Every structure is written in C-alpha cells, then in structure tokens.
Amino acid sequence: MRFTNKVVLVTGGAAGIGKATALRFAEEGARVVICDVDEANGKETQKLLGSGVAFYKVNVASREEVQQWVDRVVDQYNRIDVLVNNAGVLRDGQLVKFKEGQLVSQMAEADFDLVISVNLKGVFNCTQAVAPVMIKQGGGVILNASSVVGLDGNFGQTNYVATKSGVIGMTKVWARELGRYNIRVNVVAPGFTATEMVKAMPEKVLEGMKAHTPLGRLGEPSDIANAYVFLASDEASFITGASLRVDGGIVVGT
C-alpha cells in the first residue's frame, strides 16, 4: 500500500494501459482519478475499480477542459501526488505512398494534427496545469507515456513517432526545470502490448510482433502499469529525466 491517501491522475484511463495503471495504483491504496473521452468505458472502469476511483470526461487536447478537470480534483482532494500522462491516439499512414511511379496516397494533414494535439499537446496541457499544484504542495511525480517507436522510429507512423519522441524531449526539459521543486519527471516506453486494440489485430500480425520480441510474447498492460507504479514510488526517488523501456527486449525493425 505504497500510495495510501495519495492522489493519482491517469489520463486515457478508460481502457488498455491506462485502465491497468489505474487498477495498480488503486491496489496500492491511491485515490485514483481517471479521465478519458470515452465516457461509456470510463464509467465502467470506475465501477470496476470501486469507490476510491473518480472518472471525468476530458479531452486532453483542450487546455480549458484540462484546467477545469485539475481545478475540480484539487477542490475535492486538495492535492495531486502523481500524474500519468497516458492518453494517446493512432492515425497511421505513410508520409507518401507511390505505386508504379505515381503518388497514390499520403498522410492526411488532419491525421497529423489530431495525433499531435492529443499525444503531444495533451501531455503539455496536463503537465502545465498540474505542475503549479505540485510546486505549492512541495513535490510530486509526473510520468509520461512514450513508446519504443519514439526511440527507434517505425514505418507508417510519422505523426505518432513525432509525438512519442517529443514527449521524451519534454520530459528531459521538465526534469531539469522542476527538480528544484522536488518534482520527478520520467518516461515509460512500452513495446508491443496486448491491449484490446492490439489483440484485435490479425493473428499473423500478432505472431510477427512476438517473433520480434526476444522474450517471445507481447507485454501485458499490467507490465507497463507496474513500471509506472515503481517510478512513482519512493523506491525511485533518485530517478528523474529517465526513459524506461518496457518492451521485452525488442529493437523495432529487426
């Protein structure tokens, strides 16, 4: 029960890694507050996790919605100890795709803008809203979701990789800026993880993911959640500005 009476915010907490992360913190005694744009699954997750968990419908790309959310959490709990910036979206596509010497498609500007607004600006919005609360209370922990593709790149993911690389860069800046206030900022970079979305992929694709992973399996959402719990705990009190790969040893592209 390492987080008894601690207030933990998890964005994108309705499903997948966010849901698993909320569950792990709740198991450790935390007062968990999740947000998501998926209201139906968000409320189901709230019911599953019990009375100690609150759900808010929030679009992290909207600074106004984020600030209202943070203000309401502070009004209710008077503090925020941990922020997990987990919310993210995918809109994959090649930069340009040619066939027989002709341009046949390219990544849509709207798809690029959406992924940037949620995965990168959303992390910025939530961190900028929460940081003053943590400074005033004397410290806290901010954890950001990147990906192994943010470190290694990946085919067909210009927008997603840009955001996940950007999150690593922002984390390093914030670790420098906020360390004087006893705020630690770290990144978790998952590999192929068996979320609901991934498990719905064709079996051939899933087998390919496993084949590229030295440990021979996909990660479980709980594997990533455990990394977040460790980095938020006192056991990681001298870790900041770090990027922790939780990927089964994968090197993307091999």
Q: Residue ranges of the domains in the chain?
A: 7-246
| pTM of structure | 0.94
Backbone φ, ψ for residue 225 (5° rounding): -60, -40
The fold of the 7-246 domain, in CATH, is Rossmann fold (3.40.50)
Catalytic residues: 160
Positions of the chain with pLDDT under 70:
252-254
DSSP structural state of residue 157: B
Closest CA to 55 of 13, 117, 109: 13
Alpha-carbon torsion angle 230, 231, 234, 239, nearest 10: 140
Write down the residue that tokens 């064709």 correspond to. Answer: 202
Amino acid 81: pLDDT:
98
Contact 225, 24 (CB under 8 A): yes
Structure tokens that stand for 21 in this block: 């992360």
Amino acid 254: pLDDT:
59
Query: How far is it, in rounded angstroms, from Cα 222 to Cα 23?
Result: 9
Q: Which residues, including other chains, have CB under 8 Å from residue 87's CB and lie 6 or more apart? A: 11, 12, 18, 35, 36, 60, 118, 119, 122, 145
Helix axes 63-77, 122-137, angle to 10 degrees: 30
CA–CA–CA angle 184, 120, 47 (5° rounding): 75
Query: How far is it, in rounded angstroms, from Cα 225 to Cα 144?
Result: 12
CB atoms within 10 A of CB 227: 23
- Going by their DSSP bridges, the two strands 53-57 and 82-85 should be labelled as unpaired
Contact 230, 197 (CB under 8 A): no
Query: How far is it, in rounded angstroms, from Cα 168 to Cα 223?
Result: 20
Amino acid 206: pLDDT:
86
Query: How far is it, in rounded angstroms, from Cα 30 to Cα 22?
Result: 9
The SS3 assignment for 87 reads: coil
Closest CA to 141 of 95, 191, 188, 81: 81
Q: Which residues, including other chains, have CB under 8 Å from residue 21's CB and lie 6 or more apart? A: 10, 13, 84, 86, 221, 224, 225, 228, 229
